[in-house]
């Protein structure tokens, strides 16, 4: 079996390509047929099953969008936007995306993260004397927008022209259980339910070792 894989790598790669093609959806097929200089953008979809003690079992979908903005040519790397969506048996929703977009000739690039989570979880108090009737249900709802716009000044030198992070969190909890009823000081320390907005700015300098290599056709 090992000999077959080693001696016939092309067959293994061909099989892998066939499997990936099942989940691959072309996005601009007609435009590429009209203009062969356009990059064939595609969407790759795959099912996701995950397990963590904090979330229990979860199921969802993972996706990646591959594209080039406008009429970017071979000198521009392929932009990508991976996206994952997960729903757990604990009624938690987790959406996330980390994207990298290269504009024409990579004079500008946009990188960053997008995220949304609705994360209810149980809390039984602090210490080792908590009881089941002390259960509190917390519900965290969080949004994250984190774009970083980069300007290229030379082959290996880029700087962040603009960067901003906005994180918004909404915290709610039930007041039916007994732990906070018996711990008023802890209750006072909690922020009131509502949205919390946390804007943040960043400046950065980046040095890239990336070099473009022309491959033989």
pLDDT band at residue 59 using 50, 70 and 90 as cut-offs:
very high
**Closest listed residue to residue 168, CA positions, set 146, 190, 138, 195:** 195
Residue 153's SS3 state is coil
Q: Distance (Å, rounded) from C-alpha 156 to C-alpha 149? A: 16
Q: Indicate if the pLDDT at residue 82 is higher than 60.
A: yes
Average pLDDT, the chain: 71
Mean pLDDT value of segment 134-146: 75
Q: Indicate if the pLDDT at residue 179 is higher than 60.
A: no
pLDDT in the model for residue 2:
40
pLDDT tens profile 22-36: 678 888 888 888 887
Which segments of the chain does DSSP mark as H helices, in order? 2-7, 9-22, 29-34, 184-189
């Amino acid at each position: 079996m090992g000999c077959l894989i080693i001696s016939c790598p092309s067959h293994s790669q061909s099989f892998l390509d066939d499997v990936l093609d099942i989940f691959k959806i072309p996005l601009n097929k007609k435009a590429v047929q009209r203009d062969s200089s356009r990059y064939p953008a595609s969407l790759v979809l795959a099912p996701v099953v995950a397990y963590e003690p904090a979330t229990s079992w979860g199921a969802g979908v993972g996706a990646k969008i591959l594209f080039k903005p406008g009429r970017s040519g071979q000198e521009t790397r392929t932009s990508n936007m991976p996206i994952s969506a997960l729903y757990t048996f604990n009624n938690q929703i987790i959406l996330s995306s980390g994207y990298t977009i290269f504009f024409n000739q990579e004079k500008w690039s946009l990188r960053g993260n997008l995220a949304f989570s609705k994360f209810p979880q149980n809390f039984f108090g602090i210490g080792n004397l908590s009881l089941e009737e002390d259960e509190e249900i917390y519900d965290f709802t969080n949004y994250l927008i984190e774009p970083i716009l980069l300007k290229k000044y030379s082959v290996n030198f880029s700087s962040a022209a603009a960067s901003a992070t906005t994180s918004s969190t909404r915290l709610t909890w039930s007041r039916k259980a007994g732990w906070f009823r018996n711990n008023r000081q802890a209750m006072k320390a909690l922020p009131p339910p509502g949205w919390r907005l946390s804007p943040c700015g960043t400046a950065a300098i980046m040095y890239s070792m990336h070099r473009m290599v022309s491959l033989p056709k």
